[in-house]
Amino acid sequence: MPLDNQLAAVLQGFAALAEPDWASLDARQFRQQADNQMPPLAGADMAEVRELEVDGAAGPLAARLYRPVARRDLPLLVFFHGGGFVIGNLDTHDSLCRTLALETQAVVVAVAYRLAPEARFPAPPQDCYAATCWLVAQAEQLGFDASRLAVAGDSAGGNLAIAVSRLARERRAPLIRHQCLFYPVTDAACDSASYSEFAEGYLLSRAMMGWFWRQYLPSSEQVDDPLASPLRDDNLAGLPTTTVLTAEFDPLRDEGEAFAERLRAAGVAVRLERCQGLVHGFANLAPFVEAASRALLGAAADVRRALN
Q: Is 81 a catalytic residue?
A: no
d(CA 261, CA 242): 11
- The catalytic position among 81, 93, 178, 280 is 280
Catalytic residue from among 155, 192, 194, 205: 155
Distance CA 151, CA 181 (A): 9
Is 155 part of the annotated catalytic residue set?
A: yes
Is the bond leading into 122 cis (omega within 30 degrees of zero)? yes
Catalytic residue among 154, 250, 254, 302: 250
Distance between the two ends of the chain, CA-based, in angstroms?
A: 35
Nearest-CA neighbor of 123 among 205, 237, 215?
A: 215
Closest CA relative to residue 253, chosen from 81, 1, 19, 5: 1
Sheet holding 145-154, edge to edge: 48-55, 60-67, 107-111, 75-80, 145-154, 178-182, 241-249, 270-279
Comparing CA positions, the residue from 135, 189, 192, 143 lying closest to residue 164 is 135
Residues in contact with 131: Cβ distance below 8 Å, sequence separation at least 6, in sequence order: 54, 55, 56, 61, 63, 78, 111, 113
Residues 60 and 116 sit within 8 Å (Cβ to Cβ): no
How many alpha carbons fall within 13 Å on the CB side of residue 116? Answer: 20
The angle that helices 290-307 and 94-104 make with each other, rounded to 10 degrees, is 50
The rounded distance, in Å, linking the Cα atoms of 215 and 86 is 7
Instruction: Give the residue among 286, 281, 288 at the shortest CA–CA distance from 300.
Output: 286
Q: Residue 24 catalytic?
A: no
Q: Which residues are catalytic?
A: 155, 250, 280
